[in-house]
Structures are given as C-alpha cells and as structure tokens.
Amino acid sequence: MILASRRWKLALFALAGAALFAAAACGGGTSSADKTATAGAKPAGTSAATKAAGTPTSTSAAKVDVSGVDELKDGSLDIGSDIAYAPIEFLDEKTNQPVGLDVDIANALADVMGVKAKFNNSAFDGLLAALDAKRFDALMSAMTASDERKKTVDFVEYFNAGSGIIVSKGNPKNIKTADDLCGLKVATQEGTTQVDFLVGPVSNPGGQDKKCKDAGKGGITVLKFGTDPEAVQALVAGQADAEMADFPVAAYSATQSNGALEIVPNQIEPSPYGVAIRKSSTALNTALTKALAEIKKSGKYDEILKKWNLEAGKLP
C-alpha cells in the first residue's frame, strides 16, 4: 500500500491532539494491497497479513480466558482496518505506526486477553470480504454496526458515532442539515454509511437523494473517493460543496485545515461502532465481550475516550 495515497497532506493527520468536541459512524479505505502495522512494534510496514506464531506478549496477566478461542492460539488478534481515518485510526507521521481511538481500544482488549493486537492496513470496502476469507480475525475500522452489515457479521459494540458534514469556511451554501444538501455535490468515501445515507445501499437505493427529489428539489451528486482524505481534498479544491464522514473524523479534518473548513454542528443518525467478527467466531465474540466489560470496569475505556476527547461517544 502506498502511504502517500492514504493522506492528502500530513498536516491533516498530524498528531496534534484530536481537538474534537462531540462524538460521533464508519471508516474508509483504499488500495487492494494490505500492509501489517503492529501497534507498538518497531518497524511499520512489515509484510502483510501473516500471523507470527508465538506466546502472548501482553504487559499484564490475562483477565479473560481465551484458551478455547482458535483465532487467538498464536497469541495474536489479527485486525483488518483502513488506517486513514483520524482520529479513529491513522498512521503516526513520525513512526508510521497506527494510532487512534480504535488502536488504543484494541490494545486494551488484547491486553486483558493476554494477546497482542496486530493491525493490517487494507481497503475499507474490501474488509468484510477479507474477514469472510479468514485473512483477519476481526475488523476494527470505525465500522458502524448497521443492520445491513449485521446480516453477514456479528459486532461487539464499543462507541457511538453519527455522520458529520464539513464545508468551506463561512459555509457559503448555508448548509445546516442534510436537507440542505439537495442539489449540491457531496464528497464522501466509497463503502461507508455516508454513501448509504446519501443514495441508499445497493440493495435499496434512495436515501437522502430520493428524499430531495420526492420533495421536488434537486438531487445530490455524490462524489465517491477511495479514502476520506481524498474526499476532503475534493472539498478543499472546490470540486464539492460539502464532505461527509463520521462526525469525529469530520470535526478533526476541520480542525486540521488551518481555517479552510468548518464543521456543521449537527450530527446525523448516531449509531454504534463495533468490532466485526465472523458469525462462526462465537468463542472470540464471547472473549471480546468479556474483555470490553473488563476495560470498562477498570476505567481504561474512559481513559482512552478522554485521551481522544471523545467522551460523548461513550457506550454504557
């Protein structure tokens, strides 16, 4: 995977502390190649999607028994993710290591299970197929636990997020709600819940575009991009009137734009993120559910949300 294509400018994803003020629904991706980036490991960009067998490498004693979890017998929780969705998951420009909310939560979950979390960089719109093909144990990529996705995978839900809209400085089109997108060009990332919101899923087209047309207004021209940074760049370049992403991601993009962009304050349809796992991975589902309960009980979950200024997305 070519790292340059995952970030339109380093400044957009700089680790300048995620200055967000609300929580927020689904990550994005590009490229068909995968790259393994193990959180906390020394070299970033070692070769992809193979697990190294070995003993658990957690920093504390396991608190969740995973002896019956086949996926974890090598001591590794292999996670598929599109790592270009700051502040949820992105690459530290100094180390090329994955960082963000999802990375910290994955590491905390892995720690209480006595294993190591390993992130594999992959195209968002191919993640579910890759999970089904058993290239990964689980997916963690700001993925909304939508009803459509629940038909094929199970989720362990851990965060609540809605969609957000960013616009050029001064909001020249006076966009306040999704209804104001009628007749406009909206950039977003391929394969995300934002696409489903705007034009409906492939199985049931419609969405906000149909709502606009049914009201006698102009339809929405949706510009789809491989990554969220590319969609943001389309807005900056004047190719789009607005850009849609998960609210925390949209807010982060606005704060990192040096005043060129601003966030519309209203969240759209908040829904939970989830760790996606195969429906056949029942033992892993149980282990992850117990691990999540453990990090909530210990306070680690709250600590991670506070670190990224995303407390408003807390799930009980």
pLDDT tens digit sequence for 240-249: 999 999 999 9
Residue 13 pLDDT greater than 90, yes or no: no
Q: How far apart are CA 81 and CA 295, in angstroms?
A: 21
Q: How many CA atoms lie within 13 A of 129 on its CB side?
A: 7
Q: How many CB atoms lie within 10 A of CB 90?
A: 27
CATH number at residue 93: 3.40.190.10
Q: What is the pLDDT of residues 252-268, one digit of tens each?
A: 999 999 999 999 998 89
Quote the pTM value: 0.76
Whether the predicted pLDDT of 136 surpasses 90: yes
Residues 70 and 111 in one domain: yes
**How distant, in Å, are the alpha carbons of 197, 208, 249 from that of 205?**
10, 10, 25
Name the one residue in this structure whose structure tokens are 């993120």: 273
Tell whether 266 and 279 lie within a shared domain.
no
Residue type, 242: A
Query: Does residue 262 sit in helix, strand or coil?
Result: strand
Q: State whether 306 and 169 are in the same domain.
A: no
Identify which has the larger pLDDT, 43 or 113: 113
Same structural domain for residues 179 and 125? no
- Are residues 147 and 288 part of one domain? yes
Matching residue, tokens 């380093």: 10
- Among 98, 144, 131, 103, which residue's Cα sits nearest to residue 284? 131
- Examine the domain organization and report whether 258 and 288 are in the same domain: no
pLDDT at residue number 51: 36
> What is the rounded average pLDDT of the residues 95-123?
97
- 93-119 average pLDDT score: 97
The secondary structure of the chain in percent helix, strand, coil, rounded to multiples of 5, reads 30, 25, 45
Looking at the structure, tell me whether residues 140 and 36 fall in a common domain. yes
pLDDT at 45: 32
Residue 22: band (very low, low, confident or very high) from pLDDT cuts 50, 70, 90: very low
| Segment 172-186, tens digit of pLDDT | 999 999 999 999 999
Mean pLDDT confidence for 44-60: 36
What residues make up the domain containing 103?
3-161+272-313
Mean local confidence (pLDDT), 24-44: 36
Strand partners, 225: 189
- Min mean pLDDT across 2-6, 11-15, 36-40, 187-191 is at 2-6
Of residues 307 and 25, more confidence is placed in 307
The 10s digit of each residue's pLDDT in 176-224 is: 999 999 999 999 999 999 999 999 988 889 999 999 999 999 999 999 9
pLDDT given for residue 61 in this prediction = 58
Mean pLDDT of the chain: 84
Return d(Cα 239, Cα 235) in angstroms, integer: 6
Q: Are residues 184 and 157 in the same domain?
A: no
Number of domains in the chain: 2
The verdict on 142 and 285 lying in the same domain is yes
Q: Tell me the C-alpha distance between 128 and 81, whole Å.
A: 10
